[in-house]
Structure 1
Amino acid sequence: MTDLIEISRDGAVQIVRMARPEKKNALTQAMYGGLANALAAGEKDDDLLVHVLAGAGADFTAGNDLNDFLALERLTGTDLERFLLTLAGLEKPVVAAVKGAAIGIGSTMLLHCDLVVAATDSRFQFPFVNLGLVPEAASSLLLPRLSGYQRAAELLLLGEPFDAGKAREIGLANAVVAVGEEEGAALALAHRLAARPRQALRQAKALLKREPEPVTERIAREARLFEAALRSEELREAVAAFREKRPPDFSRCR
């Protein structure tokens, strides 16, 4: 673990913070390794239910540290690749709290998050083509799915910055809040997720993240999971809470 990645807990929520504010949280290979390790460890912790990604200081992240990045001879097998694969494969929900710069991977990583809260001062950008590079982190696949081909082409081919309002318009952000309120809003969403039935929550995320398939196959896949859920402790607790007119408590359901 690197001291440029800070990890804290708020109940069942893990906050993973990029902490290099003097460099706008520009990411090094060591930081990518720390992010991957923190997320992987959180997946193995049964008491941890939701991840939150955040940045220290005034920014989320300005992207790759240029000197560190230019020293790479390949991406395969690097901590950058390990971080992206870890993030893309998380079973537990991920909420991002974005402020200031969210450039390059600061934008592409959001495509793998489940909920994103952006402060009004957030500045997003996919600058890859402008730098003589190609899109990364499956953004050439995920961004068109999210916003449609023409909007994705505008953002990826022109590579121009855009604000929080446009991020919400294209579906990259769920909510836009005042500067300084983004982390509190992200934590509130994370705790709302943590209060949901954990098995149903993870299965619903897995269904949302699956590759496209014929409608009839998806109906059958959902039916198999639905039938199993009919016998679950989570359903029994939800029904009991409804009948007893009390909030459900899913913490004892495993």
Structure 2
Amino acid sequence: VMKELTELFPLLEKDSSIKAVLLHSEGSEFSRGLDIGYLIRTEGAELKNATQELSECLKIFLKTLLCFTKPIIAAVHGDVLGLGVMLLPVFDVVVAQTGTSFMAPYGHFGYLPEGLKAFSSCRTLKPRAHTDLLLLGKRISCQNALEYGLITEQVEPNRLLVRAQLLTKTVATQSSQALQSIKNHLRQDLLNNLDTVLAQEQKQHVKQWATPECQQMFKEFVSKGGIL
């Protein structure tokens, strides 16, 4: 999915008829994070190649999203995990259906959260979000996510897509140059050092994913069917 979106977003950027983008999933969850099963390897050379490949794909994906100038509206549902949670502050509007839960279990898995700098730079997030999600590894409710500034609003399940589409249309009627300049201004500090930040995060991922601690936790997670 990361590769597909990385290829799609530059096309959306160039299309002047597109004023805003809506992201949603037709599956049971909006996102369950990285496919960490891909990182489970027994041979040293295979493990090194896998960590390099996935970390590079992740870095390019994050840069593509963070540099995208048009508004992104996300409609989320299910048990959102890991990268799916870390990406939420990257989106401009996030609508979640009631019953959605959010968890960022990096303390459990043993590695640096993806896109941590972008996540922590978000001005709408309250400190409690960092404490509960990243330090305590809690699974938080939709109401908690709203209170912490992780999502914009919550709606009943049967209204999720309708509400998200309405918000997308509303945003699309606003001045493109105004919204793009606002978005750029809010992210200016992050964007000025983005390549350096993402390279540092990638270096940590390559190092940590290959450790016995991460490999063991990845295996246990996959063996349990992705349940925490």
Q: Does 1:179 align with 2:157?
A: yes
Unmatched 5+ residue regions in structure 1? 1-30, 213-254
8 A contact 1:58–1:100 mirrored in 2: yes
2:16 aligned partner: 46
Aligned equivalents of 2:118 and 2:182: distance in 1? 24
1:58 is aligned, of 28, 31, 56, to 28
Report the alpha carbon displacement of residue 129 of structure 1 after superposing the two structures with TM: 1.2
Q: TM-score w.r.t. structure 1 length?
A: 0.66
CA 53–69 in structure 1, closer or farther in 2 if over 3 Å, else same: farther
Report the alpha carbon displacement of residue 140 of structure 1 after superposing the two structures with TM: 7.3
Which entry has the higher C-alpha Rg, 1 or 2? Answer: 1
1:79 is aligned, of 34, 48, 57, to 57
Q: TM-score w.r.t. structure 2 length?
A: 0.73
Moved more, 119-128 or 91-100: 119-128
Tell me which stretches of 4 or more aligned residues in structure 1 moved more than 4 Å.
Answer: none
Secondary structure, aligned partner of 2:74: strand
Aligned equivalents of 2:101 and 2:171: distance in 1? 27
Identity within the alignment, % = 29
Deviations 1:151-187 (A, max 9, x none): 4123201111111101100111111001132122111
Letter of the 2:26 partner, please give it: A
Secondary structure, aligned partner of 2:158: coil
1:128 is aligned, of 94, 106, 122, to 106
1:103 aligned partner: 81
8 A contact 1:60–1:99 mirrored in 2: yes
CA 143–130 in structure 1, closer or farther in 2 if over 3 Å, else same: farther
- Higher helix fraction (1 or 2): 2
Report the alpha carbon displacement of residue 63 of structure 1 after superposing the two structures with TM: 1.2
Moved more, 201-210 or 121-130: 201-210
Aligned equivalents of 1:32 and 1:142: distance in 2? 21
8 A contact 1:111–1:139 mirrored in 2: no
Moved more, 97-106 or 127-136: 127-136
Between the two proteins, the alignment pairs up a number of residues equal to 182
Report the alpha carbon displacement of residue 149 of structure 1 after superposing the two structures with TM: 3.3
2:95 is aligned, of 105, 109, 117, to 117
Unmatched 5+ residue regions in structure 2? 41-46, 191-228
Q: CA RMSD in A?
A: 2.1
